[in-house]
Every structure is written in C-alpha cells, then in structure tokens.
Amino acid sequence: MKRKRVVIIGGGYSGVAVAAQLAARPRAPEITVVERSNRLGAGVAYSTAERAHLLNVRASNMSFSVDKPDDFSRWLKSKSGATPTAFASRRTYGEYAAQKFSQARGFFGRKIKTVRGEAVACRREDDGWIVELASGKLLNADAVVLAIGHRPPASLPAFESADIPLISAWDRAALRRIPRGDVLLLGAGLTMVDVAIALAAQRKSGAIYALSRRGLTPRPHLDPHIAPPQNEIELPTSLADAVSAFRAEVKRMAEQGQPWQFAMERMRHHTAAFWQRLPLEAQRRFLRHLRPWWDVHRHRMAPEIAAQVEALKASGRLRVLAGEIVNAERRGRAFVVQHRQRGSRVRHNIDIAAIVNCTGGNMDVTRTDDPLLLQMLSDGVVRPSPNGLGIELDPEARAIDGAGRPQEGVFVIGPLSQGAYWESTAVPDLRVWAAEIAKRLA
Ligand SMILES: Cc1cc2nc3c(=O)[nH]c(=O)nc-3n(C[C@H](O)[C@H](O)[C@H](O)COP(=O)(O)OP(=O)(O)OC[C@H]3O[C@@H](n4cnc5c(N)ncnc54)[C@H](O)[C@@H]3O)c2cc1C
C-alpha cells in the first residue's frame, strides 16, 4: 500500500515537534518539513543570538515532547549544570530543539525529509493537496500541517502616512545600525523587554522610551521558585462571574500571604476550556479590556530579566510611557514623535533616532500580506477566526474552510491557533498539540 504523505509548512518548534511525533508513530506517513530559513526548530523565539534573551518558562516545563517531561532539564543539566527551575537562554533552547529534531531524523531515517524554501500556495487537487514553493517546486500531500508561526507586526498608520520606517524588533542587524540618540520602542511587553535589554547592552548612552496605551510591563516570575498548591481554580462559565471569582480568590490568597503568581498557575489547566466555552462576544470583550492585564501577568519575565529591567528603569535609561502617538514626522535623519500621556491632554515631543516596532505579531490574518495566507484565504482553504486572532479551527485543530466545514487534511498549530484555544502558543501547550495532531494524521 502506498505510504501517505504529509507536508508540514514551517520548521520552527511546532513544525519539527509534529514531524518528530508523527515519525515515531506506527505506520507513519512520509513527512516533508518545508522551512524557508536555514534553521530547523528555532523559529522566531529561539533563533536569537543574544545570550541575555532568556526563556520565560522554567527548564522543567520546556521538554521537547510530552512523553519525556524532564528531557530538557536533564539535557540542560548535562550541558551547564543548571537546575530544573532555571530559565535557560532561548538560544540554548534552539540548539536543544534542533538536536531533538535531528535525533528524530536519524532514528526514523527516510520518514522525514526537509526542504528549504518558502511555501506560497496550498491548493486542493483531487483527493489531496499541492503545496507550491516560491521556487516553483510542487509538493503533493494527503494532508498539510500549517505551522508558519509568528506573523510580522502590523504596520502602524501614524508612521506609514508620515513615511517613517519602523525597525522590526526581530531584525538584529537593523537594531545594531541605529545611530546615536534616543530610541522609541512601540509596545511594552516581552518583545519590548528583549529589545531594551539588547539595546542597553549595545549602546553606551541614549534613553530608551517604551510606549504603549497603558504602559503595563510584564510581571516577574516568583523568585525563588515555590511550587504552587495543587488545588486548581475552576472558573464559572460567564466572563464577568469568572473575573469576580478570580479576583476574590487572589484577595483571599493575599490575605493568607500567598503570591498572586500561584493563582495564575492554579487555573492554567482550565483556561483553554474556559476560552472555548466563552461566547464570541465575551471573547471580544476580554480581548478589548482584559487582555493587556492578562498578558503581563500570564507571560512573565525570568527574575534575572526583571532585575535588569528594574535597573534600566532606575537609572533612567528605560522610560516606560502610557499614552498614544499623536503625530510623528521626520527631522533630517531623525524623527520627532508627539505623544499624549494616558488621562492627560498635554502633548509631549520627543526627538528620536529610531523607532522599533515591538507590538508583537499581527494576529489579524485579514490584514496579512503573506502570499501563502492570502492564497489560502482567498481560495477558502482557511478562514479568519471570528475573534480576530489567527485562523478558525475546529476542536481537533483542523482548519475550517470558507464554507464553514472542517478541512479533513489541513491542520494548524502554533500562534495562528490562539483564537481557537487561547493557550496554544508556548511549548508546554504546543507539544500537546503536536502529539494530538500526529495521532490524528497517523
Ligand atoms: C520572542 C519570543 C519568545 C518566546 N519565548 C518563549 C518561551 O520562553 N517559552 C515558551 O514556551 N514559548 C515562548 N514563546 C512562544 C513561541 O511561540 C513558541 O514557543 C514557539 O517557538 C512557536 O513556534 P512555531 O513553530 O509555532 O512558530 P515560529 O517559531 O514562528 O516558527 C515558524 C517557522 O515557520 C517558518 N515559515 C513561516 N512561513 C513559512 C512559509 N510560507 N514557508 C516556509 N516556512 C515558513 C518560519 O521561517 C519559522 O521558522 C516565545 C515567542 C516569542 C516570539
């Protein structure tokens, strides 16, 4: 009998994790991973060259696969002696993920092929799929896994209309070329923290401004680590009731001297199910009003990083502003940015040498310029998630087509699945999805 063929588009952590899980299954199909960069397993998060960029999850929770929970802790200990509660560098994690993938390839031999190239189309043909690469090469598949990961940030109208170029937070070469002077970072989340730390190390002087609507910055992980109590917080089904119940629980815990971080851990296993039960209108309300608060408490900084951020703030090198941009214009080779502080009408001008977009990946696929996504959307292979985050999926990670039916042969993993499951973008969740998708594909 002819072996089935699965094409995985994207070879970041998600893509290689699905490939490794799938290859290990009995009667595994022929697997092809298509990756446009020259690195497998690293993607945006783990290809950073900065040693100072740390994971925001402890080593004990970063194993490559679900079936060996302490694999990364052991690997890290053998490399550096670090304990399971340490926050390793993201670059080190990239090396680990690449090694796990290459071990899987070595072990399962011909089952996994890799192709360097960019997928630009994925079309249905007869009973299967054809994936087209930018080079013109065509790959036939019985099923496709879309693992294309983080999207570049959205363009920002105030700067676009003034023809002001924004530097991407992930463009290391461009960050190094920033001339002397102050720098403005748009956004105040973990991406801003990455850039602020890299710029502060690379530049001897100049202020780094970070601007977001609320000026909220990520909170730190507990230091030292204390395991949270086992009793989980189960939330009522309505959003308003859940918020009140959660607040009441955090207050009760504070009265008992327990840190709020425990509360986040204690509801971690329920948030995906809670999200999926929320009506669309409540999901949108959450995204509009609560998301900034959620993000800074849920996606926390390693204590070492938090200490560096505090030191930068204390020395005045990092200045976090809450407010909005009112105007931006060029002044020679520099820029003048006018902003208004939150809750005030007063406008302030700042002279800036460069502006870095740290607003995070653009999750609204209706505003994408990615050729593959544009084609898949216009041919109805996939459709946007109704809450505006990524692609609409069924509960089994199958894409919903333009007519509203689950596509038998198109699975999605990674950031594009956030609208469907909410908690589906970090390794502890991705490895579960990788195993689940592999089970369905096999
Ligand atoms: C800066 C940052 C730090 C993070 N830190 C952590 C952390 O500490 N712990 C944690 O658990 N999670 C972390 N995350 C979450 C992260 O999303 C996941 O851990 C994981 O890396 C996501 O992997 P991915 O493969 O889904 O996406 P990506 O890493 O974005 O990989 C997608 C891959 O697809 C390729 N690709 C895209 N389009 C095409 C195409 N058309 N054709 C061919 N190839 C294509 C890209 O080149 C890329 O290699 C972090 C995320 C970011 C952005």
What percentage of the chain carries pLDDT values higher than 70? 100
For residue 125, which of 108, 106, 144, 103 has the smallest C-alpha distance?
144
Take atom 19 of ligand 1 and give the residue whose Cα is closest.
426
Residue 96 alpha carbon to ligand 1 centre in Å: 15
**Residue at 229 is within a domain:** no
Instruction: Write out pLDDT tens, residues 307-324.
Output: 999 999 999 999 999 999
**Residue at 267 is within a domain:** yes
Q: Which of 270, 298, 326 is the last residue of a domain?
A: 298
pLDDT mean over 237-259: 95
**Residue at 233 is within a domain:** no
Q: Is the pLDDT of residue 108 over 80?
A: no
* pLDDT for position 1: 61
Find out whether the beta carbon of 437 lies less than 6 Å from any atom of ligand 1: no
**Residue at 226 is within a domain:** no
Residue 179 sits in the same domain as residue 54? no
Instruction: Write out pLDDT tens, residues 185-205.
Output: 999 999 999 999 999 999 889
Range of the domain at 67: 5-152+362-441
CA angle 411, 2, 122 (to 5 degrees): 35
3-state secondary structure 28-80: CCEEEEEECCCCCCCHHHHCCCCCCCECCCCHHHCCCCCCCCCHHHHHHHHHH
Local structure of 373: helix, strand or coil? helix
Residue 148 sits in the same domain as residue 167? no
Instruction: Write out pLDDT tens, residues 129-177.
Output: 999 999 999 999 999 999 999 999 988 888 988 889 999 998 989 999 9
Find out whether the beta carbon of 147 lies less than 6 Å from any atom of ligand 1: yes
Count of domains for the chain:
3
* pLDDT for position 2: 76
Residue 174 sits in the same domain as residue 141? no
Q: How confident is the model at residue 391 (pLDDT cuts 50, 70, 90)?
A: very high
Residue 190 sits in the same domain as residue 319? yes
Ligand 1 atom at minimal distance to the Cα of residue 37: 47
What percentage of the chain carries pLDDT values higher than 90? 90
* pLDDT for position 199: 96
* pLDDT for position 441: 94
Q: Is the pLDDT of residue 283 over 80?
A: yes
Instruction: Write out pLDDT tens, residues 337-346.
Output: 999 999 998 9
Instruction: Write out pLDDT tens, residues 15-45.
Output: 999 999 999 998 899 999 999 999 999 999 9
Q: Where are the beta strands (DSSP E) in 342-404?
A: 347-352, 354-357, 398-400
Find out whether the beta carbon of 12 lies less than 6 Å from any atom of ligand 1: yes
Find out whether the beta carbon of 144 lies less than 6 Å from any atom of ligand 1: no
Find out whether the beta carbon of 425 lies less than 6 Å from any atom of ligand 1: yes
Instruction: Write out pLDDT tens, residues 402-434.
Output: 999 999 899 999 999 999 999 999 999 999 999
Residue 181 alpha carbon to ligand 1 centre in Å: 32
Residue 370 sits in the same domain as residue 385? yes
Ligand 1 atom at minimal distance to the Cα of residue 43: 29
CA distances from 107 to 102, 121, 188 (A): 8, 31, 43
Q: How far apart are CA 4 and CA 144, in angstroms?
A: 11
Ligand 1 atom at minimal distance to the Cα of residue 54: 8
Q: How far apart are CA 380 and CA 384, in angstroms?
A: 10
Quote the radius of gyration of the chain (alpha carbons, Å).
22
Q: How far apart are CA 276 and CA 96, in angstroms?
A: 32
Residue 324 sits in the same domain as residue 423? no
* pLDDT mean across residues, the chain: 95
Residue 214 sits in the same domain as residue 100? no
Local structure of 126: helix, strand or coil? coil
pLDDT mean over 279-306: 97
* pLDDT for position 138: 98
pLDDT mean over 270-287: 96
Residue 200 sits in the same domain as residue 340? yes
Residue 188 sits in the same domain as residue 259? no
Local structure of 133: helix, strand or coil? strand
Take atom 1 of ligand 1 and give the residue whose Cα is closest.
45
Find out whether the beta carbon of 415 lies less than 6 Å from any atom of ligand 1: yes
pLDDT mean over 245-255: 95
Find out whether the beta carbon of 414 lies less than 6 Å from any atom of ligand 1: yes
